[in-house]
Amino acid sequence: MFESAELGHRIPREVYRRREPALRAELLEAQRELKAQARFPVLIVIGGVDGAGKGETVNLLNAWMDPRHIRTHAFPAPSDEERERPRMWRYWRVLPPRGTLGILFGAWHTDPIVERAARTLDGAGFERRIEEVLRFEQMLVDEGVLLLKYWFHLSRRDQKARLEALSANRLTRWRVTREDWARFEQYDRFRKVSGEFLRRTSTAGAPWQVVEGLDPAYRSLTVGESLLAALRDRLSRPDPVAPARGPVPVRSIDRRNLLDALRLRQPLGREDYAVELERWQGRLARLSRDARLRRHAVVAVFEGHDAAGKGGAIRRATAALDARQYAVVPVAAPTEEERAQPYLWRFWRHVPRRGRFTLFDRSWYGRVLVERVEGLCAESDWRRAYSEINDFEAELAAHGVVVVKVWLAIGRDEQLVRFRERERVPFKNHKITPEDWRNRRRWSAYADAVCDMVDRTSTDLAPWTLVEADNKLYARVKVLRTLCERIESAIAAG
Amino acid sequence: MFESAELGHRIPREVYRRREPALRAELLEAQRELKAQARFPVLIVIGGVDGAGKGETVNLLNAWMDPRHIRTHAFPAPSDEERERPRMWRYWRVLPPRGTLGILFGAWHTDPIVERAARTLDGAGFERRIEEVLRFEQMLVDEGVLLLKYWFHLSRRDQKARLEALSANRLTRWRVTREDWARFEQYDRFRKVSGEFLRRTSTAGAPWQVVEGLDPAYRSLTVGESLLAALRDRLSRPDPVAPARGPVPVRSIDRRNLLDALRLRQPLGREDYAVELERWQGRLARLSRDARLRRHAVVAVFEGHDAAGKGGAIRRATAALDARQYAVVPVAAPTEEERAQPYLWRFWRHVPRRGRFTLFDRSWYGRVLVERVEGLCAESDWRRAYSEINDFEAELAAHGVVVVKVWLAIGRDEQLVRFRERERVPFKNHKITPEDWRNRRRWSAYADAVCDMVDRTSTDLAPWTLVEADNKLYARVKVLRTLCERIESAIAAG
């Protein structure tokens, strides 16, 4: 991995001086075009050994480019707001919007490498982290992010010399910390681990570019020219139309599916309902105050046919919770700031801190439901969404978040009755729109989408619960019961 | 303040049962209309004595209304991200956007009352906090926020009885903390202090509504009806056209002004510039690493005529800083999420944590410059902006943030030369727009606006520095010097 970066690359100072002004002008011009097109963001990830000029390069890029459209983020010890959320949250929150550049000084690669080098992470754990990084970066690339990863390298001898030189100068001494020296003692181990990590996470869409850090002129020009070339290449190409991957699924030959197999009208009378409602709300209320829940959080997803009673089910759940503890997030059209980000960004921003609940009224599953059926996104987008969603929920679960997903299922006839009632009753009138009627006409296309969704995203960590909802009372109780049981098993597991 | 709320208000249970369904439907309808109009947000502030039903009322409002468009926020011990920013930041970050409701369970009133009751805040400090609250709430009201403040009260005897009752019940015992009992011991003192606070912060635009908390039916209906009435009233009225306040200022009779008094072309040659630049950048670099800066942060505002060299001055400053430590925020048209919030919200969101720099390329002063001159906001809006801006900067300064504001001043002739150059040189072309030419035609209107701005917002805490910028080299050095000197005096003061 590092062979070519230990050759002692250098360029003459005057070559640098001659090229630099033009390079800056061209970078500025490319950056202006990036802003004007606003089609994609650029994410520059900086890693490497200490003393190889990471910081200097970041400063240089900031000085060369228009500072108004570039943001640099470093990742020191996480804040408490970050610690209380899944690992990737702190990276999601700083992703650059389209048309801008983000520089990450250290990123998701840092901890796995450092921990593995220090042997606080075992081989299997390292494998899982590599896998996580690969999937995350693939998602970024699929979302159109121009992801550039630079690794600054020094040979063992050069690193030592450079750390000593920095330490000897009063103005640069602060850059060298005790940890830097401690890590240098581990040079060979670090080289081996980072080499392995770089090799494994260099993909066609986002390869690592290893830059020898010895000579400032060489490394600056290398990064500058590489950034310029990548920007120009991408700016000159139209948005890629990614091919839909995988075979077209065949619908089940006998037309039986998951939804048809449900008995949608389940018995439960008013009186029994009152008893059951109180019982499960009481249980949820006690669970929500259970001290063990402070190590967890709850993300509940409410999906279902139009008029299936999502809102009513949500209200029965929140009535059992302390209002300081939950947020209901209605998912409608994304805002402008959300549209400038990868698809899942707008859900990541609502991930709850420990001890809290977020209830999503509709969710990230919109992509594989309405967006798929109505053709609102490219086929390749909704096809890759299944695995992205599974990754997202796995990250939540890994952090102790209880992910509860319910599908409220009603029959076509029951829906018609409810639509008619909404049209008839004045204060329900606003709940029925032409869109509802349109969706209804595509009943079977939606059924296919729902069944695919359940098949592909019902996992042990985050299973789907199908709720028979022709009888609203039964559905509300089943939703409450599902919430309670999932939370109970999570806090029992610790 | 509390006399009417110690009468033992009650209503019969059946009155409540009869009214409640209709009230809920009407509240939902009003909420729907609020969402549809999306003209203003509703902010409900909840305060009061312990055991008076604050939590129950918040839960009830959440159960009654559509949970998708209502958010509740409580304010336990601040997170580190909150502690490292000015006091009001945590409230700014949760303000509800237009068309939605926010419920604050405890808010900016809590700490001053609790601290004053416990005597950790002296009389003068209490006065300052009241003043701060009054100004903040006035700003909200002026921004169109429907601000409803409910205070839940219990007489001394009733509070004791209720705390005892809650403690006796297994299901409600958790609601009563040791602090609740400790505070009860201070009942008389708390009553006196909160009474004083409520009286002083009850204004025409945002009066406190004191609700006796003894009887759940009474307090629930009282809050529900009051909220409904306030919503309906406001929904039925067009946006107020607030009268411009204060007399029209008279321009100075002899036509002399602050800008004219400057000698815009100051001498500084290339060679001296190189020396000075290195000197001040080095000084800024050392200051930025000074341990004492960790108790401060820096907010630098760059304003100036078009083509005055703001970008160049910013780049010379950031070149001296560690890229992990600063952000440059370009201020252009607000995003959709920003437009749904009070004017200063989009600047609050960029307030730096301790030890960091935010450099604003244009700023909140847009309101009293371009928006005033071009008539982009109502006269009443820019007239009140001066004091709102002073409040904002005073809050920053009170938290230790160094606020540096520079105006880069060039002459009309120099501007013409630079505009022409921008038109001529291809890679500067994008920096000149028809808007620039339009602004230029209004030169004297802008000059009036600039002079008013400096007169009204140059304060001891956050003074303006006028920078003579016909010679770019001189201007860049003066900006750097200003930054250094302001930071030095701040960290010397501690």
DSSP for A337-371, written as a single string: HHHTS-TTHHHHTTPPPTT-EEEEES-GGGGGTHH
Q: What single-letter DSSP state applies at residue B43?
A: E
Taking the Cβ of residue B425 and every Cβ of chain A, the question of whether any pair is shorter than 8 Å is answered with no
Q: Whole-model pTM? A: 0.82
> Burial of A240 by CB count in 10 Å (0-12 exposed, 13-18 middle, 19+ buried)?
exposed
User: What are B400's two structure tokens?
Assistant: 């230790």
Domains along chain B with CATH numbers: 3-236 (3.40.50.300), 270-493 (3.40.50.300)
B282 interface with A at CB cutoff 8 Å: yes
* Residues in contact with A55: Cβ distance below 8 Å, sequence separation at least 6, in sequence order: A105, A175, B322, B323, B324
Q: Does A75 touch chain B (CB under 8 A)?
A: no
Q: What is the DSSP track for A64-101?
A: HS-GGGEEEEE--SPPHHHHTS-TTHHHHTTPPPTT-E
Contacts of A69 in chain B (CB under 8 A): 330
Pairing state between β B101-105 and B42-48? parallel
Q: Do B59 and A322 touch (CB under 8 A)?
A: yes
Query: Between the CA atoms of A397, A398, A401 and A407, what dihedral angle is there, to the nearest 10 degrees?
Result: -10
**Whether residue B244 has pLDDT greater than 60:** no
CA gap A291, A494 in Å, rounded: 11
pLDDT in tens, B66-89: 888 899 999 988 988 899 999 999
Minimum-distance CB partner of B318 among A32, A67, A74: A67
Total length of chain A: 494
Task: Enter the ipTM.
Answer: 0.74
Place of tokens 């059951």: A276
Backbone dihedral region for residue B429 (phi beyond 0: left; psi -120 to 50: alpha; all else: beta)? alpha
Beta-carbon separation of B322 and A427 below 8 A = no
Is there a contact between B324 and A72 if contact means CB atoms under 8 Å apart?
yes
* Among chain A residues, CA nearest to B320: A59
What's the mean per-residue pLDDT of chain B?
Answer: 91
Instruction: Name residues of chain A where pLDDT drops below 50.
Output: none
Check CB contact under 8 Å for A59 and B323: yes
Give me the pLDDT at residue B393, please.
95
Name the pLDDT band for B251 (thresholds 50, 70, 90): low
User: Quick check: A368 and A386 in contact, CB under 8 A?
Assistant: yes
Compare all CA atoms of chain A with the CA of B360 and give the residue at the minimum distance: A68
Beta bridge partners of A299: A358, A403
Q: Residue B464 belongs to what H/E stretch?
A: strand B464-468
Look at residues A290, A326, A305, A313 and name the one whose alpha carbon lies nearest to residue A370. Answer: A305
pLDDT at position A273, please? 96
**pLDDT at site B252:** 67
Give the mean pLDDT of B31-54: 93
Burial grade of A153 (CB within 10 A; 0-12, 13-18, 19 or more): buried
Residue of A nearest to B57 (CA): A323
What are the Cα distances from residue B142, in Å, to B34, B145, B369? 18, 7, 19
Q: Are B58 and A309 in contact (CB under 8 A)?
A: no
B109 with B200: CB under 8 angstroms? no
* Chain B partners within 8 Å of A285 (Cβ): 171
Mean pLDDT of B273-298: 95
With an 8 Å Cβ cutoff, is B78 touching chain A? Answer: no
Q: Which positions in chain A touch B327 (Cβ < 8 Å)?
A: 71-72
Tokens of B250: 């008279």
> Please, which residues bridge with residue B328 across strands?
B359
pLDDT for res A171: 72
Hey, are the CB atoms on A79 and B74 less than 8 Å from each other? Answer: no
Q: For residue A59, which residues of chain B lie inside 8 Å, CB to CB?
A: 319, 321-323
Place of tokens 């900016």: B108
Q: Is B335 helix (H, G, I), strand (E, B) or coil?
A: coil
Residue B320: strand, helix, or coil: coil
pLDDT band at B228 (very low <50, low <70, confident <90, very high): very high
Return the closest-CA partner of residue B368 out of B337, B405, B401, B400: B405
B289 touches chain A (CB under 8 A): yes
Position B38 scores a pLDDT of 92
**What's the pLDDT band for B301 if we cut at 50, 70, 90?**
very high
**Which pLDDT score is estimated for A252?**
66
Q: Within an 8 Å CB–CB cutoff, is residue A8 touching chain B?
A: no
Q: Is A56 on the interface with B (CB under 8 A)?
A: no
Residue A326: list chain B partners with CB under 8 A. 72
Q: Are B309 and B431 in contact (CB under 8 A)?
A: no
Q: In what order do the strands lie in the sheet with B464-468?
A: B326-330, B357-361, B297-304, B401-409, B464-468
Of the partner residues B59, B79, B337, the one whose CB lies closest to the CB of residue A80: B79
- Closest C-alpha to B86, from B402, B406, B405: B402
d(CA A97, CA A476): 39
**Is B105 touching A (CB cutoff 8 A)?**
yes
Given an 8 Å threshold on Cβ–Cβ distance, is B79 in contact with A74? no
Distance CA B409, CA B258 (A): 10
* Nearest residue, CB atoms, B62 vs list A72, A73, A318: A318
A81/B contact by beta carbon, under 8 A:
yes
- B463-474 pLDDT tens trace: 999 999 999 999
Closest residue, chain B, to A57 (C-alpha): B323
Q: For chain B, what is the total number of helices (H) and then of strands (E)?
A: 20, 10
pLDDT for the residue numbered B171? 72
The reply to whether B34 touches chain A by the CB within 8 Å rule is: no
Mean pLDDT value across residues B351-375: 95
Residue B324 to residue A105, Cβ atoms within 8 A: yes
Q: Describe chain B by its helix, strand, coil percentages, rounded to 5.
A: 55, 15, 30
Has residue B246 got a pLDDT over 80? no
Chain A CB within 8 Å of residue B336 CB: yes
Angstroms from B244 CA to nearest CA on chain A: 33
Q: Is a pLDDT exceeding 90 seen at residue B219?
A: yes
Pick among A28, A59, A83 to test the B interface (most B CBs inside 10 A): A59
Question: Does A282 lie at the interface with B, CB-CB under 8 angstroms?
Answer: yes
**3-state DSSP call for residue A301?**
strand
Q: Which two tokens stand for residue A130?
A: 């590599």
What's the rounded Cα separation, in Å, for the pair A61 and A230?
Answer: 15
> Where does residue B221 rank: exposed (0-12), middle (13-18), buried (19+ CB within 10 A)?
middle
- CB contacts, 8 Å: B321 with chain A: 59
Sheet containing strand A297-304, strands side by side? A326-330, A357-361, A297-304, A401-409, A464-468
